[in-house]
Structures are given as C-alpha cells and as structure tokens.
C-alpha cells in the first residue's frame, strides 16, 4: 500500500509534495525530471549544497535570488568570481550567507569547467533508472552505492560540499533515479 496522498485536485503525490504550497509545483513539474546540461546540473548541485542543514523549502523560496546572485549559475561566470564577489554574496540577504558554501560554489564552478567530458556526462554515468520503487517515504534511502560513487568521483575532480547524501538528493532531483512513490502520479513520468 502506497503512502502517496491525494491532493484536492485528486492526484496522488509523495507526502512531501503536498506539505507546502510551494512544493506542489516543484514536485509535479521539476523534481525527478531529467536535467542533462552542465549549467542546469551545476545549479542543482549548488542549491543542494546550500540546502545542507536547512530546509529545501528555504532554498526553493530563495532560488531566484540565488540565480541573480550567481549570474544564472553560469559556471564560466561564477568561476571568475573573486574576493569582491564573495563579499557581495556574503552581504546578500536574499541567499544563504555561508562563506564555506559560497566558496564551494565558486570552486565547484571551476571544477565543473575542468572535468573531462563535462559535468553532465560525469554525473549521468551514475544514473540508476532501474532503481526499485518505494511505496513509503520511510523506505526511500538517503544514500546509495551510486551516490557514494558519484560523491567520490566529484570530490576527486575538486568538488566540495558533495557528500553521498547531497549526491543522492541531486540524483533524485535531476532524474538519475525515480524516487516518486509507487502510488504517485509522477512515478515513471520521465522514462
């Protein structure tokens, strides 16, 4: 029996997808949809790192401010950031002002530009389209062998704030695994 919950519109969703109004659109239109370009994956990776220790809802509500502050998450532009940009970001109340995470975002842009074959190819090598479905949120893992391998590979290329849990959240958000619950209307939507 799935723990997916029917919304007012009659559609069954993962429980978190109905926990706040902002989550409905994110759940239905974005989470789990494949992201296959370097810039899109770099943005998601940065946002997942900024989320570490915080609510995803906080990051989701600040996303447009993050995009403005980080020039649309263009890795070439962010890689060129210097000390004045770091200070600008540290004074931007629209984003999460954590120096270690800001430094990681800049360093990760530089790493993304230097990764052989590109960021997307590296990340998508770790896709697991045949991962088993789960009926209950309690059964969805926080870490897998695949996310551990992805985190290790990214760290080898110089990425920071990309542990196995962050890597798995990235895999879920970007469609490398389908962790919509088996009763959810989005399960299998992107195959």
Question: What does the block give as tokens for 117?
Answer: 């074959």
Would you call 48 a catalytic residue per the annotation?
Answer: yes
- Asked whether 39 and 75 are in contact (CB, 8 A), the reply is yes
DSSP 3-state of 47? helix
Of 26, 29, 43, 64, the active-site residue reads 26
Q: Where are the alpha helices (DSSP H) in the chain?
A: 21-29, 38-51, 56-69, 75-79, 83-90, 99-114, 119-124, 145-156, 164-173
Q: Which of 23, 31, 42, 56 is catalytic?
A: 56
The yes-or-no answer on residue 56 being catalytic is: yes
Give the dihedral sign, CA 146/184/33/101. Answer: negative
Options 31, 43, 48, 168, the catalytic residue = 48
29 is catalytic: no
- The catalytic site residues sit at 26, 48, 56
């Amino acid at each position: 029996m799935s723990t997916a919950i029917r919304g007012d519109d009659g559609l069954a969703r993962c429980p978190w997808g109905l926990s706040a109004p902002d989550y409905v659109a994110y759940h239905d239109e974005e989470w789990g949809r494949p992201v296959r370009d370097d810039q899109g994956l770099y943005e998601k990776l940065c946002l997942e790192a900024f989320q570490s220790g915080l609510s995803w809802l906080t990051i989701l509500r600040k996303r447009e401010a993050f995009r403005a502050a980080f020039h649309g998450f263009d890795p070439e532009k962010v890689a060129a950031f210097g000390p004045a940009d770091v200070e600008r970001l540290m004074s931007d109340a629209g984003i999460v002002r954590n120096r270690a995470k800001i430094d990681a975002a800049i360093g990760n842009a530089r790493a993304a530009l230097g990764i052989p074959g590109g960021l997307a190819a590296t990340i998508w090598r770790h896709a697991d389209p045949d991962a088993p479905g789960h009926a209950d949120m309690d059964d969805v893992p926080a870490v897998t062998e695949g996310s551990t391998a992805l985190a290790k590979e990214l760290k080898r290329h110089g990425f920071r704030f990309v542990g196995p849990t962050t890597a798995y959240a990235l895999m879920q958000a970007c469609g490398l695994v389908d962790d919509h619950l088996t009763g959810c209307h989005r399960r299998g939507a992107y195959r």
